[in-house]
């Protein structure tokens, strides 16, 4: 049974890395579930403190994933309307069946929000670029955390490989 749980946990780790770039899956949270599944095995021992700390980090990154694109918009001179537009664009980008909607959505939303706020197109474009940089920053942070969780997974499995295989 432990081998099956290890493989399922490994699948969650890979899905977590993929989820760092695809908004359908919350990357670090998915990877954390891989660590939790690993904890359920009899062969790999992890303490609850480790799991709680990694969960708090994963939840924090998940929340930041919604905030960072809006912060990027603000940093590049966007107004509240641009930040709201970026957030709405992110949601529309998630729902829309457009390839790259997750990238185009925040950019277009911030641009439209700034234009509706009576900004000139140059300022609106700059704010939209900030939103895009926010998205890239968020994806990079999620990817790094998912890779760290994969590293922790590999170390735990390796340290207990004599009990598993």
Confidence label for 90 from pLDDT (cuts 50, 70 and 90): confident
> Are 76 and 133 a contacting pair, CB within 8 Å?
yes
Higher pLDDT among residues 161 and 6, named by residue: 6
Give the Cα separation of 132 and 73 in Å (integer): 8
Which residue, among 1, 63, 51, 56, has the nearest Cα to 26 in the 3D structure?
63
How many structural domains compose the chain? 1
> Which structure tokens are listed for 38?
């690993």
Mean pLDDT over the full length of the chain = 86
* Overall pTM > 0.85: no
Place of tokens 């998915």: 30
Could you tell me the end-to-end alpha-carbon distance of the chain, in angstroms, rounded to an integer? 12
70 is in which domain, residue-wise? 2-164
pLDDT at 164: 67
Q: Which residues of 63-84 are buried (b: 16+ CB within 10 A; e: fewer)?
A: eebeebbbbbbbebbbbebbbb
In the predicted model, what is the mean pLDDT of residues 32-43? 92
Q: Once rounded to an integer, what is the mean pLDDT over residues 42-60?
A: 91
User: Which residue is associated with the tokens 């909607």?
Assistant: 101
């Amino acid at each position: 049974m432990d081998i099956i749980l290890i493989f399922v946990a490994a699948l969650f780790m890979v899905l977590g890395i993929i989820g760092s770039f695809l908004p359908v899956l919350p990357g670090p949270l998915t990877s954390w579930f891989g660590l939790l599944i690993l904890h359920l095995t009899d062969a790999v021992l992890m303490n609850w403190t480790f799991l709680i700390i990694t969960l708090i980090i994963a939840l924090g990154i998940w929340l930041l994933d919604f905030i960072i694109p809006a912060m990027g918009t603000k940093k590049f001179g966007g107004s509240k309307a641009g930040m709201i537009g970026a957030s709405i664009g992110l949601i529309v980008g998630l729902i829309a069946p457009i390839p790259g909607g997750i990238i185009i959505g925040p950019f277009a939303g911030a641009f439209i929000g700034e234009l509706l706020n009576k900004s000139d197109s140059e300022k609106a474009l700059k704010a939209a670029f900030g939103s895009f940089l926010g998205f890239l920053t968020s994806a990079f942070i999620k990817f790094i955390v998912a890779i760290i969780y994969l590293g922790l997974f590999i170390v735990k499995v390796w340290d207990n490989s004599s009990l598993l295989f």
